[in-house]
Every structure is written in structure tokens, then in C-alpha cells.
């Protein structure tokens, strides 16, 4: 079996690490991959955006049996449809289904139609309409703080919580007129701000069935105590504690209506579905869908799954997920991200990374690379998020201690990380 994994972050490194546990997997290609991935897969340059036929040709020429798509971009622009048309096996949802992440308006309308609890929202299609809405805010049920969201994909930056009218007007102008997110901000959503604890629920979905994975929590802010700007994620923990009744509620009011909604809309969803959930005083609400594995959640979820990943993915593709029984290890995984100084703003790269050999092959420690490259046998930084250090253990405390003990062996110039993941 030959597999291509598209993407090059910690998520993709974790996916490749897990796939490698299956002896049937003879060779893995990764495009573009990273320094750490290059130790276990053959790196191929990334094809130009939207040039999915180049990947088709690559897959044919290398006789690759299965392609797995990590990030949302290729899914939203239809890579799965192109592959399916050529009868090539691929893991991920179609373009139509990927709108659940690619268009927040599509996602919110889907939730409203199918009774999935989510914040009240208003779709605004033009700048004038948006200003008008703000001017008449007192006549509506909405009030500050207001959440303003660009409709399309904006690399995780398209959600802004506004405290004042002035802020709201500014961000609406930036999205809809200055187009800071390009076409993604052509239309926007305004919605109520929800309060509570956030949890990420990921599930495999074959269109007929869902198999839920251990719940995870992502630490989005750059600095300790949830201070500083939002990032792609500075750490994660799984499982994130939920009570039996919270899980039942999520299944009954979110997962079941979601599946029914797919079927009613004839959406043939095959892949991973990620529910970003806020546990509010009035119950669990969906903040967003992602149509792929989360990063950095995957780095703590996959080490807890005993079942073979390839087997599950094949079952998703052939719509036989009901036959899979997922075995989950009774452990906790904690991951801290080592980032370049300045991330998520400007940062320097090309710093040599020291200490990696000290944590290699150590029990209860995993290291998934993100922004790294390998040159002459040495690793250097090449991105904002550089490494994910994962500690495993029988308890949250043990997993956290293992994570931070391993982290203390690693260094590069001006390394930045949070000291309070899983605290
Ligand atoms: P999204 O891309 O929609 O998940 O938004 C990114 C982040 O913005 C979420 O993970 C939340 O932390 C925050 N967020 C989004 N929508 C809301 C909301 N209605 N109320 C409070 N926070 C929100
Ligand atoms: N961790 C959030 C995401 O993957 O979008």
C-alpha cells in the first residue's frame, strides 16, 4: 500500500506516524511534508493551489493507492471531486460537503434548518446592509459584545469579537471594503457571543454513521493564562473532561441532527467532521464545523486510538464505518507547541533545533514536527509553530509532566511556548 498525505504540519506528522503502525503500509509520500516527516516519508513539493490535476498525475505516476488530505483549503476547492472523477481513492469530504467549513453562512443555515443549537446570527451580504444593521442594532435582539465572522476561509483569523460599535464598524470595513481576507470577507455573519468552555469533538463520518473520537481541548491564545493573540493552537489535551450527561446531550442534540441533516440534504459526507463546541449555561452550542482533523488536536487524539487508522479510513471511504469498533486507550495525552519567537506575528526562522535525539523513542513521549526542515542531518526551524511535544500518561498530571520534562530537553534560539497546557 502506498499513501500520499497532503499537508505539512504537526497534524500530518501525527497522521503519518499512526499510519506507519500498519505493516501493509509500504511507502508514504508527503506533500510538502516537513523535516520530521522526511524521516518516515518521501517528501514531494506541493502542487500549486487548485492544480489538483498535478496531484492526479503524481498519484498515477507513483502508483499511490490512497490520498489523505490534511488541510481544509484543498477540500473546500474540490480536490476530492477531481480524484473521484478519475476513480482515485481519497480520504476527505467533497467540495459540496466541505462548505460546512468553507462557508460559515452555509454552516449556520444548515444548523438552523436541522435544529442544531448555535448562536443566533444574521447574514449580511453588502457593506451598506451591514452598516444599516449596526445603526439599527437597538431594534434587534443583538448587543455588544458581538461576534463578526467572514463567511469564507481566512486561516483561522476571520472571527473577531467586537466590544464597541466603533470596533464593529472598523472590522466590517476591513472585511467587506478593504477585503483583508480577500473574497472570504465579501459576506459576513454577525452573531451573539457565547460564554463557556470550548471543546473539540471529532468524529469519523461515512455519511450514514459517526464514530466519535476522544474529546480534545485546544489552547488558542499565544501566552499563559489565555492571554495574548489567537494562534493556530499552542497546545492541546485529550480527553478533555466531559460528564456522561454532557456527552449524551452532544450526541442527542448535535451529532444525531447533524447526521439526519446530511441525509436530508443528500450530502454524502465521508471523512472527519470536527464540531467546535461551546458548553454554555444553556447547553452545548456549535461554534463551527471543520471538515478535517484539527491541528493541534490530532496530535493528542491519534495516540489514544488503538484501532488501525488505515482500516478506519478505508471503512469511511467504502461506507462501512458501522462495522468498525473503535478502541480507545485509557490514557491522557498532553501536547505543548514550541513556536518561533513572535508567532503568531512576525518571526525569524532557520534556527538550529537542539536536543531532539534526547527524546526520541522514549516511552510516553512523542514529537510531531510542524515548521521544521532537515539539512545535513540537522533540524532547523522553518515556520511559526515548530514542534509539538506530546506526553502520555495514566492521568492528566502524569501526561503533562511527561510532556514538559521532554520539552525541557529541546531548545532553539528564542523558543516560545506556554507553560500552562493542561494546568
Ligand atoms: P470559529 O472559526 O467560528 O470556530 O471561531 C474561532 C474561535 O472564535 C472559536 O474557537 C471561539 O473561540 C471564538 N468564537 C467563535 N464564535 C463565537 C461565539 N459565537 N461566541 C464566542 N466565541 C466565539
Ligand atoms: N485547532 C483548531 C483547528 O484545527 O482549526
pLDDT in tens, 20-57: 999 999 999 999 999 999 999 999 999 988 899 999 99
Question: Is any ligand 2 atom within 6 A of the Cβ of residue 72?
Answer: no
Q: What is the mean pLDDT of the chain?
A: 97
Nearest CA to ligand 2 atom 2: 294
Q: Would you say residue 104 lies in a domain?
A: no
Tell me, what CATH number does 340's domain have? 3.90.600.10
Residue-wise DSSP of 282-347:
TEEEEEEEESS--TTTHHHHGGGB-S-HHHHHHHHHTT-GGG----B-S-EEEEEEEEETTTTS--
Residue 230: the pLDDT is 87
pLDDT band, very low/low/confident/very high, at 353 (cuts 50, 70, 90): very high
pLDDT reading at 320 higher than 90: yes
CA dist 323 and 328 (Å) reads 16
Say if residue 211 is in the same domain as residue 301.
Answer: yes
Q: Would you say residue 69 lies in a domain?
A: yes
Query: Among all ligands shown, which has an atom nearest to the Cα of 71?
Result: 2
pLDDT reading at 240 higher than 90: no
Residue in 159, 190, 234 to alter for ligand 1 test, most ligand atoms within 8 A of Cβ = 159
Tell me, what CATH number does 41's domain have? 3.40.50.20
Cβ burial 35-66 (10 Å sphere, 16+ → b, else e): bbbbeebebbebbeeeebeebbebbeeeebbb
Q: What is the domain range of residue 43?
A: 2-91
Residue in 12, 233, 234, 238 to alter for ligand 2 test, most ligand atoms within 8 A of Cβ = 233
Query: Among all ligands shown, which has an atom nearest to the Cα of 145?
Result: 1
CA dist 80 and 394 (Å) reads 39
Please state the pTM of the whole predicted model: 0.97
Residue in 12, 274, 368, 421 to alter for ligand 2 test, most ligand atoms within 8 A of Cβ = 274
- Give tens-digit pLDDT for 87-108: 999 999 999 999 999 999 999 9
Counted domains in the chain: 4
Residue 309: the pLDDT is 98
Tell me, what CATH number does 149's domain have? 3.30.1490.20
Measured from the Cα of 119, ligand 1's closest atom is 19
pLDDT band, very low/low/confident/very high, at 241 (cuts 50, 70, 90): confident
Map grid coordinates 478506519 to a residue.
Answer: 312
Question: Is any ligand 1 atom within 6 A of the Cβ of residue 159?
Answer: yes
Q: Would you say residue 113 lies in a domain?
A: no
Last residue of a domain, one of 269, 296, 323: 323
Residue 96: the pLDDT is 98
Amino acid at each position: 500500500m502506498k499513501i500520499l498525505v497532503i499537508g505539512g504540519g504537526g497534524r500530518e506528522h501525527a497522521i503519518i506516524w499512526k499510519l506507519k503502525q500498519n505493516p501493509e503500509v509500504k511507502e508514504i509520500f508527503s506533500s510538502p511534508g516537513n523535516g520530521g516527516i522526511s524521516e518516515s516519508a518521501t517528501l514531494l513539493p506541493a502542487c500549486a493551489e487548485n492544480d489538483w490535476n498535478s496531484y492526479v498525475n503524481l498519484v498515477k505516476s507513483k502508483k499511490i493507492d490512497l490520498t489523505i488530505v490534511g488541510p481544509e483549503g484543498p477540500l473546500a476547492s474540490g480536490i476530492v471531486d477531481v480524484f473521484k472523477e478519475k476513480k482515485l481513492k481519497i480520504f476527505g469530504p467533497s467540495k459540496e460537503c466541505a462548505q460546512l467549513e468553507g462557508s460559515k453562512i452555509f454552516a449556520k443555515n444548515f444548523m438552523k434548518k436541522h435544529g442544531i443549537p448555535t448562536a443566533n446570527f444574521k447574514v449580511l451580504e453588502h457593506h451598506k446592509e451591514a452598516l444599516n444593521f449596526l445603526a439599527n442594532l437597538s431594534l434587534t435582539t443583538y448587543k455588544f459584545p458581538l461576534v463578526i465572522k467572514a463567511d469564507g476561509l481566512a486561516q483561522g483569523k476571520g472571527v473577531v469579537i467586537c466590544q464597541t460599535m466603533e470596533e464593529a464598524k472598523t472590522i466590517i470595513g476591513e472585511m467587506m471594503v478593504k477585503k483583508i481576507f480577500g473574497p472570504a470577507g465579501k459576506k459576513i455573519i454577525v452573531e451573539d457571543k457565547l460564554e463557556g468552555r470550548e471543546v473539540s469533538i471529532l468524529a469519523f463520518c461515512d455519511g450514514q454513521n459517526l464514530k466519535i473520537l476522544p474529546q480534545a481541548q485546544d489552547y488558542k491564545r499565544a501566552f499563559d493564562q489565555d492571554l495574548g493573540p489567537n494562534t493556530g493552537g499552542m497546545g492541546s489535551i485529550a480527553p478533555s473532561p466531559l460528564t456522561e450527561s454532557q456527552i449524551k446531550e452532544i450526541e442527542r442534540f448535535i451529532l444525531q441532527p447533524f447526521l439526519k441533516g446530511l441525509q436530508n440534504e443528500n450530502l454524502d459526507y465521508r471523512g472527519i467532521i470536527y464540531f467546535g463546541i461551546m458548553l454554555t449555561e444553556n447547553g452545548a452550542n456549535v461554534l463551527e464545523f471543520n471538515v478535517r482533523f484539527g491541528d493541534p488536536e490530532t496530535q493528542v487524539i491519534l495516540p489514544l486510538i488503538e484501532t488501525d487508522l488505515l482500516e478506519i479510513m478505508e471503512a469511511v471511504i467504502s461506507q462501512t464505518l458501522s462495522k468498525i469498533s473503535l478502541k480507545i486507550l485509557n490514557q491522557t495525552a498532553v501536547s505543548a507547541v514550541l513556536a518561533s519567537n513572535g508567532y503568531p506575528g512576525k518571526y525569524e526562522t532557520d534556527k538550529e533545533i537542539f536536543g531532539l535525539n534526547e527524546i526520541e523513542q522514549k516511552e510516553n513521549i512523542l514529537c510531531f514536527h510542524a515548521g521544521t526542515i532537515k539539512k545535513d542531518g540537522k533540524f532547523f526551524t522553518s515556520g511559526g509553530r515548530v514542534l509539538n511535544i506530546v506526553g502520555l500518561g495514566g492521568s492528566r498530571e502524569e501526561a503533562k509532566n511527561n510532556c514538559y520534562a521532554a520539552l525541557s530537553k529541546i531548545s532553539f534560539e528564542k523558543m516560545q511556548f506556554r507553560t500552562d497546557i493542561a494546568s
